[in-house]
Amino acid sequence: MERRKRWISEIGRRSGDFAGGAERLAGDLADERMSVGFRAVIDHLRLCGANPEAYGYNTSEEKLYSKYTDAVLAAPLHHMHARRSQIYFQAVKRHVLILSYSHMAVLVGLVREADQRAASDALGGLLGSVRVMSASRDARSHWAGINRTLLCSDAAVNRLWCAEMTAAEEALSITKAEALTYLAAERKRISGLSREEAISRLLASSNVVGRSARVGKLRSSSLLTAA
């Protein structure tokens, strides 16, 4: 949790320089992996899937956070379709392997518990399993095949798997609490605004002035003339 807090603060601080910030972010993540090791990677994989509510929609902070998750890879389990989705059909049809952050954490843990070859073999088995699956939109059958393949790949996986399932539940609780705490504070702040402040902020968020200015600049097109 402390690592997540630190990186949320760091990403927010760097968001003013998106291009340079994204490049430095990737470099700093690599440096952290080198200095701290697998523990840092697993921490990121467990908690990076939830966008911080404090960043706001379509802000520079949110965009830089998206770059951060690109650097980490995969997606959180609770964002995956749990019943049916065309994504699974297309993935199997195109031999594309979909993994969650939890699956990635198991593979990273396997490097630490066994060795690089064991993790590479496990990943190779997962890639191979997609090739023999029947294309289907059903989420349960898709993930059952992935999970069975991973669990059978090495004796150390079962313990790692159990640890990551527990960690996934804990991570979901942590990120929900983080978001609800921020939203409660926002509710309190907004409730304390005067009428004039509320109207001013609503106009600013809707960009009514800017949109009105753009409409005012519209002119008839000259492209329909015959000359």
Specify whether 89 is located in the same domain as 165: yes
pLDDT per residue, tens digit, the chain (227 aa), is 788 888 788 888 777 666 666 778 778 877 887 888 778 888 878 777 777 888 877 788 888 877 777 665 466 777 788 888 898 898 888 888 888 888 989 999 999 888 889 999 999 999 899 889 999 999 899 999 999 999 999 999 999 999 999 998 898 888 889 889 989 998 898 889 899 998 888 888 888 888 888 888 877 656 666 65
Nearest to 100 by CA among 122, 82, 78: 78
The count of structural domains within the chain is 2
CB 167 within 8 A of CB 49: no
Is-above-0.75 flag for pTM? no
Q: CA of 115: how far to CAs of 36, 55, 139, in Å?
A: 18, 38, 31
- For residue 122, the enclosing domain spans 74-173
Domain boundary among the residues 53, 72, 91 is at: 72
In a domain, 180, yes or no: no
